[in-house]
Amino acid sequence: MDKLLIRGGVPLAGEVRVSGAKNAALPLLCAALLTDQPLRLANVPHLRDVTTMLGLLAQMGVEVNVDEQMCVELNGAHLRNPVAPYELVKTMRASILVLGPLVARHGQARVSLPGGCAIGQRPVDQHLKGLAALGADIQVEQGYITARARRLQGARIVADLVTVTGTENLMMAACLAEGTTVIENAAREPEVVNLAACLNAMGARIAGAGTDVITVEGVRELGGASHRIMPDRVETGTFLVAAAATGGTVALRDADPATLDAVIGKLREAGAEVGVDGATIRLAMRGRPQSVDVRTAPYPAFPTDMQAQLMALDAIATGAGVITETIFENRFMHAQELARLGADIDISGNTAIVRGVPRLQGASVMATDLRASASLVIAGLVAEGETLIDRIYHLDRGYEAIEEKLARLGARIRRVH
Ligand code: UD1
């Protein structure tokens, strides 16, 4: 199994390009199931989760063509097997995103229940409740969700909590329903907006994406489209935090600064100078950061997907920071690994108190999930000596060529087999 070896202590310096967003790419790939026309997606990130999703769609009968620039063309005209098996769903929960499109256009779907995952329970009850409201007949048996419908009917859906993929699933399904669907308490994440833009280009009639009330007027069918995937705001944030933690100076090209207000705000509070120039974000940090308090919440608040990285920053800051995780119940597993590098972190329930220490020391650590891995990389870049990070397949799920990009910024990092 691959590991990452980092010799820390080098301030990051230079320029890198931000990749397309994983969390936008995954629902957008599933949108191909809504039409028998070709859907062309540009700026698709080269990631394991994307490969998994392409594999899932291909085994359903979607034709997939990928060119060398990672432009992906999908054609769902000849779908034969509307099934998402456990073997794939358990490796990537976002596979649930095939459910809405399948039942909306093909009248049936069989999708494995995702089950638990490292960062918490993560049920899909809101997806199912919404689809049932749209008239789908949903059965859960032997670990599989079976959904059937002749044609979905528009409905008013009030989500019990804000769910990103839940909103996306229902928005996609509602596109082909008869009549109007209103999704209340919808997720406002930029990835939802990016998906809605693509669906509208395919002929859907969606209004309100980016607010908490999304209205979808159903249409008979959707056509093809060409769409560019938005920049990855979590990758952008991760590189910004890495630069701040190492006392570096970086420029990130092809970013979408407007999607990063909460993260940039916290970095400024920590003492970083952050400037925005069109699609480029520059960050410069002198000296140790000051600790910051963070509370995760749905967009536009501070994202849970940046919580672990910010903990690494607080770990070497002056003062103490309080980090509160409100989205997932078990998302502090990186704290124990950061402690192996010398961090001083106390956890109580969903709150972590991070007392900054002047320096971290390299050690062997274990990645437990995608964003936890990113926090260990950041800590390793700061730590004195060598840090060896095991189980980096988590990182490969969501960060395109992370060690190449960091090496380009001067980090001493390499993959060992
Ligand atoms: C998406 C992101 C993930 C991010 C998360 C929160 C993708 C592919 N993944 O995941 O990176 O960390 O949003 O910003 O976009 N919940 C329920 N019932 C449901 C659905 C969700 O109780 O039916 C709960 C979850 O357990 C969690 C909270 O709602 O506590 C938010 O989860 P949700 O927004 O659905 O996360 P994902 O869409 O899976």
Tokens of 181: 């669907």
Which regions in the chain score pLDDT beneath 50?
none
- pLDDT, residue 118, reads 62
Q: Where are the alpha helices (DSSP H) in 246-369?
A: 261-269, 307-315, 333-340
Is 161 close to ligand 1, i.e. is its CB under 6 Å away? Answer: yes
Q: For the chain, percent helix, then strand, then coil, each to nearest 5?
A: 35, 30, 35
- Ligand 1 nearest atom to the CA of residue 96, by list position: 39
Cα separations in angstroms, 283 against 237, 257, 297, 358, 377:
11, 12, 24, 21, 19
- pLDDT, residue 207, reads 98
Across 245-373, the runs of DSSP E, i.e. the strands, are 249-253, 273-277, 280-284, 294-295, 320-324, 344-348, 351-355, 364-366
pLDDT in tens, 228-258: 999 999 999 999 999 999 999 999 999 999 9
**CA-proximal residue: ligand 1, atom 7 (nearest):** 23
- Ligand 1 nearest atom to the CA of residue 97, by list position: 8
161 CA from centroid of ligand 1 (Å): 10
Q: Where are the alpha helices (DSSP H) in 21-148?
A: 22-30, 48-60, 86-89, 99-106, 125-133
- Ligand 1 nearest atom to the CA of residue 121, by list position: 26
User: CA end-to-end span of the chain, whole Å?
Assistant: 6
Is 163 close to ligand 1, i.e. is its CB under 6 Å away? Answer: yes
Quick check: is 30 catalytic?
Answer: no
Which mutation among 164, 183, 394 tests ligand 1's pocket best, with the greatest number of atoms within 8 A of CB?
164
From 16, 9, 7, 12, select the one nearest 248 (Cα to Cα). 12
Neighbours of 156 (CB within 10 A): 11
- pLDDT, residue 114, reads 83
SS3 255: coil
Which mutation among 28, 30, 163, 370 tests ligand 1's pocket best, with the greatest number of atoms within 8 A of CB?
163
Tokens of 301: 């608040």
- pLDDT, residue 90, reads 87
- Ligand 1 nearest atom to the CA of residue 163, by list position: 34
SS3 250: strand
- pLDDT, residue 116, reads 57
Is 238 close to ligand 1, i.e. is its CB under 6 Å away? Answer: no
Total length of the chain: 417
164 CA from centroid of ligand 1 (Å): 6
**CA-proximal residue: ligand 1, atom 31 (nearest):** 163
Is 23 close to ligand 1, i.e. is its CB under 6 Å away? Answer: yes
Cβ–Cβ under 8 Å, residues 218 and 155: no
